[in-house]
Chains A and B, each alone.
Chain A
Amino acid sequence: MDSTVTSSTQRSEGLAALRKWADQNRRGLSAAVIFVAIWLLFLLTAPGTFSDPLAYRAIFTVMPVDIILAASLVFVIASGETDLSFPSIFGLSSYAFAFIASNGGSPIVGLLAALTVGALCGLLNGLLVTKLGLSSLVATLGMNFFLRGLINVLTQGIGIPLTFLLDTPFYNVMAGQIGEFPVAVFWAAFVIMLCLILFNLHKIGAHITIVGDNPESAKEMGIDVARTKTITFIIVGLCAGFAGVLSSLINNTWWPTAGDGYLLRTLAAVFIGGTPTWGGVGTVAGAALGALSVGFIETGLIGAGLTAFWTQFAYGLVIILSLIGHRFNQGRYR
């Protein structure tokens, strides 16, 4: 008798804890629901493609880049700003990598140079926004054009082949394969872990959300608003640099257009992932799931026998439907 009472109390306590956890993580969870829904939809409509491990290998080969970019953007958006310059930071910093590596330099030095260029571009974005008081939307839009222009002027539009790196230890560690499994997935997982720790457990993550929520309150409580926002831009720059190097290695080539196609699909991934546009909240795990969702849409449509013309149509539909879903989710729990 006693033991039944205890176990039922324990169960209800367990349930309460689970409900609390679900409530606290509702944004990430609804991103998971969207991801699973997309996956199931394609599993039903394109069973041939989505039951074949090869499809997942194809997805996981390119997804690390999307996941790293999306995770980093959560920081800047949660701080109440935005960054549209990451595609060109991606291009410029991976150019630094390709230039050094192709001129006989160590690829590790090249990677460090890429991270440095990314961080410096992020710092510049941060200073433009916090010191000069420019709108981050417009300032980073300008930076995106400016940096891409700089790349074109520097390279005269000529790419750099990186095939000479194939099968070097550096290549194998960064973008090789373990059996059939792409190593880059581990790097994405590593970056996600770092981002999760920074955003959810470290005080800088708390400061970022507080600044995005109410900068005046943050200032009154002694949080350095300008410094906090600048850090978010630097995080984006660093991740864009790292993603750029990974992408160049995966493609065996550095292109002057590197990063160009990532702007809208990465933003879509962040918003599908459950980070709202208004600042103060965000979810790194959700952004990673959002990036996977976007990747699945692309592969899934082709697998389902639709032409690539449908891709944008499907993106649009998924973005709008998931925003409606997140909105509904909030209304219900608040």
Chain B
Amino acid sequence: MNTPFIELKGIYKSYGNVNALNNVNLIIEEGRVLGLIGDNGAGKSTLIKLIAGVHSPDRGEMWLRGQKVTQWSVARARAAGIETVFQDRALADQQTIARNIFMGRELTNALGLIDYNRQRREAERLMREIGFTSRVFSPDSRVMTLSGGERQGVAIARAIYFKAQLVILDEPTTALSLTESEKVFAFIRELKARGAASIFISHNIYHSFDVSDYFAILDRGSIVYTADKSRVTSAEVLIHKLQTVARHGTLDVEHS
């Protein structure tokens, strides 16, 4: 097997008395989609925030392309090609679409002055690419005026512009219409086609089954099941696993 894009080894993270993550080991492969599944509070968001650099683990190692990572942060993660579409979309409502797309990674000259014309041009191109259906919006429109799907589009535009090598999507289809969800799936297929890795988190197991190449089930901070899609015959198998976990409290760690 090739060197994985990211390898997590023995990750622990707790908030006060709550063990959010308990000895998590996980491999994220290039050019493939990981379906990360688990109940509310299983630790999915914590896990992706560690990879995204928002939080740091209490213990454990993260390896990026065979190199051990130290001093991880959002800025470093983004510089390494990791873009995250957070559940809350990480938008600033009163700012323009262009400013939101380039939030934290503004296009600047050596003095730090923002190249607004370029940001506006790129934003306009990205909006077309994502398929903003309404002509009413310009890159100068404020994000607060956008619909749920359009807000998602702004968040995804970041990953497109910066040509992310790993895109983490946390509940990307929640509250989206059918056509809007289809755009998200198309985006994930494009990522895969150009060899980028992605992590897809959803409560909708059917969505996850359709789009993912391999699966991991997280339960109370531990990975309890991993499987390649070739071993999973249908979404029902995954649902059954989840139900077993919920009923028996745990499932012996199983890798197939």
Contact = CB atoms under 8 A, between A and B. Distances in A.
Contacts of A209: 92, 94-95
Contacts of B88: 216-217, 220
Interface string B101-133: 001111010011110100000000000000000
Contact of B91 (A202, A217, A334): A217
Interface residues of B, number: 34
A123 to B, nearest CB: 20
Nearest to A280: B94
A206 B106 contact: yes
Given A219-B54, A222-B105, A201 B113 contact: yes
Contact of B74 (A203, A206, A219): A219
A207 B95 CA distance: 11
Choose among B78, B93, B95, B116 the residue with the greatest number of A CB atoms under 10 Å from its CB: B95
B96 to A, nearest CB: 9
Interface string A9-47: 000000000001000100000000000000000000000
Interface string A278-302: 0011000000000000000000000
Interface string B213-242: 000000000000000000000000000000
Given A216-B88, A217-B103, A222-B104, A203 B112 contact: yes
B54 A220 contact: yes
B112 A213 contact: no
Given A213-B92, A214-B93, A206 B99 contact: yes
B91 A214 contact: yes
Interface string A248-285: 00000000000000000000000000000000110000
**Secondary structure of the A side of the interface?**
helix
B93 A206 contact: no
Given A203-B106, A218-B103, A213 B114 contact: no
A218 B94 contact: no
A223 interface: yes
A207 B102 CA distance: 11
B46 interface: no
B114 A203 contact: yes
A201 B114 contact: yes
Nearest to A203: B106
Contacts of A334: 142, 144-145
A93 B99 CA distance: 37
Given A202-B112, A217-B103, A222 B93 contact: no
Q: Which of A24, A209, A213, A334 is the most central at the interface, judged by chain B CB atoms within 10 Å of its CB?
A: A213
Contacts of B181: none
A257 B132 CA distance: 58
A293 B202 CA distance: 55
Contacts of A220: 52, 54, 74, 84, 86, 88, 90
Nearest to A213: B92
A201 B114 CA distance: 6
B53 interface: yes
Given A220-B86, A222-B74, A210 B52 contact: no
B113 A217 contact: no
A223 B114 contact: no
Contacts of A201: 113-114, 116
Interface of B: 52-54, 73-75, 77-78, 84, 86, 88-95, 99, 103-106, 108, 111-114, 116, 140, 142, 144-145, 158
22 contacts: A201-B116, A202-B112, A203-B106, A204-B112, A206-B99, A207-B104, A209-B95, A210-B95, A210-B99, A213-B95, A214-B90, A217-B91, A218-B103, A220-B52, A220-B54, A220-B86, A221-B74, A221-B105, A221-B158, A222-B74, A222-B77, A222-B105
Nearest 5 interchain pairs by C-beta: A222-B74, A221-B104, A213-B92, A220-B90, A217-B90
Given A206-B114, A210-B95, 10 more contacts: A202-B114, A204-B112, A206-B99, A209-B94, A209-B95, A219-B74, A221-B74, A221-B78, A280-B94, A280-B95
